[in-house]
Chain A
Amino acid sequence: MTLSALQIILLILVAAEINLDRRGLSLTHARPAIVGFLCGLILGDMNSGLYIGGTFTLMSLGVAALGGSSVPDYGVATIIACAFAKTTGQGPEVGMTIGLPVGMLGVQMDVLYKICNSFIAQKAQKYANERQFNKMYRILYLCPVMVAVFMSLPTAIALTAGAPLVQAILDVLPAWVTGGLSLAGKLLPGLGIAMLLHYMPAKKYFNYILIGFVLSAYLNMPVLGIALLGLALAYKFYMDNEARANVGFAGGLEDE
């Protein structure tokens, strides 16, 4: 059984929407159960859609993309699984084994759009400094466009050229390309922290960085606990400053 052109377009739009939604609005949030429901509506097979969505939901629990890390795109996996469960006529299980590799490609796509966004962000800031404020706002719309294009690309390829092609792409890509992109996705979040250290008085107050590091690295303390301790340190720092300022003021009066 083949899909109609309209169905293919709708499924690609779903892939774009859930990936935008997951990063912003958070209504469908690319949750497989919800995506499966949508695919069920589009393909006219609600039982398979819900079954595949439910299975992937339970698989994905606890897999959240935190702090800019990249995780398999279970939403896209659900779309592909639903589509191929229908076209192959071999049911949800076969669909899911085809869907998951396509979802895996989401990890690489995620790193790629984030790299493109760097250029957009720099250009926007350049416009800000040139006082071309409308241009600054307008170019930022490219960011969601990047997300929509990159994240729906695996779905578009799989639905138009067949999932075997996606699998073939994954097979042909040398391990150092896929592995390298995943590794870059793990290393690059460090760049933000490094930039932060440049903005802040890192050298002057090096000791506090050390305290935070020791608590996290050696004691595995959650960041909230560390922040509370940081608050205590900041309070002490503030009170000491305050006391010093008052003494200085009093001393000034005596000199008169």
Chain B
Amino acid sequence: MSKEPVLTKKDCVKGAIRWSLMAVTTFNYDTQLAPAVVFGIGPLLRKIYPDDDDYVEALNNHFKYFNTHPWAANLVFGATLALEDKEGISACDAVQNIKVSLMGPLAGIGDTLIWTLLPTIMGSIAGYMALEGNPVGVFLWLLTNLIFIGIRTQLMWIGYKEGTKLITKFGNRIAQITDAASVLGLTVVGALAATVVTAKTPLVFQMGEISMPLGDLLDKILPSMISVLAVWALYKLIGRKGMKVTTIILIVIVFSMICSALGILA
């Protein structure tokens, strides 16, 4: 179900700016950055889907959980927009799977390079110079950030162009690619389930002379047990009939306060 693509470079730059300004400010515990995705690329989706029904379906698709490095995210949106622009609303599942399978790796690269390495380099320069009362390091840091802002406005368009090339190549195999992408996505989700919850137990297991931190004991049975149990319990809660996400968040807060008071988790 191919259609004529409508998005231009101008649209993509606009989308990148809208997304970049909103980004993590919309962070919420059920869909994380999804509202910013809708805010950022919503106008572009409107251009792709003049029909209200399709537009609503596309919006709902992008209201699903999404979180990755906010700078690199532009590439993902560019690529999925290229797909939607070419294939229309039938590409929704493929879009969702591509977003999920790319967000883990891009977060990994972005968190290492951009959130850790860049501040370490620029921070130690600016920090040591500042201690001597010299603001030049601060100016350098601002300048670096300014350059990156410029680059970020272009990333969505780069993703769009590269995405278009890939789609022309694999265009008639969308269904198979969607399935394969969900394999990749679920592998990454499995990895995230082990690391996403960082709570630890401070309890110490006492038996006569021997004392052992309960956390170590749990890790011997199953590493990342607390994280997996938390994800599993939340998964089950979401599956319950009539259970709202808001209710689950409140349950978690009350549960956290009880566990914190009893010293079970921290």
Residues of A in contact with B (beta carbons under 8 Å apart): 20, 22-29, 31-34, 36-37, 46-47, 50-51, 53-55, 57-58, 60-62, 64-69, 114-115, 117-122, 124-125, 128-129, 131, 133, 136-137, 140, 143-144, 146-147, 175-177, 179-184, 186-202, 205, 208-218, 221-224, 226-231, 233-235, 237-238, 241-242, 245
Q: Which of B129, B142, B235, B256 contacts A181 (CB 8 A)?
A: B256
- With a cutoff of 8 Å between Cβ atoms, the chain A residues found around residue B46 in the complex are 133
11 contacts between A and B (CB under 8 A): A26-B70, A31-B141, A51-B131, A54-B126, A118-B29, A136-B42, A187-B230, A208-B190, A209-B190, A222-B108, A228-B105
Segment of B77-85, B206-214, B219-227 engaged in the interface with chain A: B219-227
- What's the nearest-Cβ distance from chain B to residue A193, in Å? 5
A192–B67 touching, CB < 8 Å: yes
The answer to whether B127 has its CB under 8 Å from any CB of chain A is yes
* A24 and B23 contacting across the interface, CB-CB below 8 Å: yes
A115 contacts B29, CB within 8 Å? yes
* Contact assessment for B29 and A194 in the assembled complex, using a CB-CB cutoff below 8 Å: no
Query: Residues of B contacting A186 with CB < 8 Å?
Result: 197-199
Q: Verify B187–A37 contact, CB threshold 8 A.
A: no
Contact A175 B260 (CB under 8 A): yes
Asked whether B164 is an interface residue with its Cβ less than 8 Å from the other chain, the reply is no
Task: Encode contact with A along B114-139: 1 for CB under 8 Å, 0 otherwise.
Answer: 01100110011011111101110110
Q: Is the CB of B60 closer than 8 A to any CB of chain A? A: yes
Contacting pair A212 B141 (CB below 8 A):
no
Chain B hits for A26, CB < 8 A: 20, 70-71, 145, 148-149
Count of interface residues, chain B, beta-carbon cutoff 8 Å: 116
For the A-B complex with A66-B111, A193-B196 known, give 8 more contacts whose Cβ atoms are closer than 8 Å: A37-B135, A115-B29, A120-B28, A191-B234, A195-B30, A212-B187, A230-B101, A234-B184
- The answer to whether the Cβ of B204 comes within 8 Å of any Cβ in the partner chain is no
- Inter-chain CA distance A140–B183, complex, in Å, is 33
How many Å lie between the Cα of A32 and that of B122 in the bound state? 12
Q: Is B2 an interface residue (CB 8 A)?
A: no
Task: Write out the residue numbers on chain A whose beta carbons fall within 8 Å of the beta carbon of B35.
Answer: 117, 120-121, 124, 140, 143
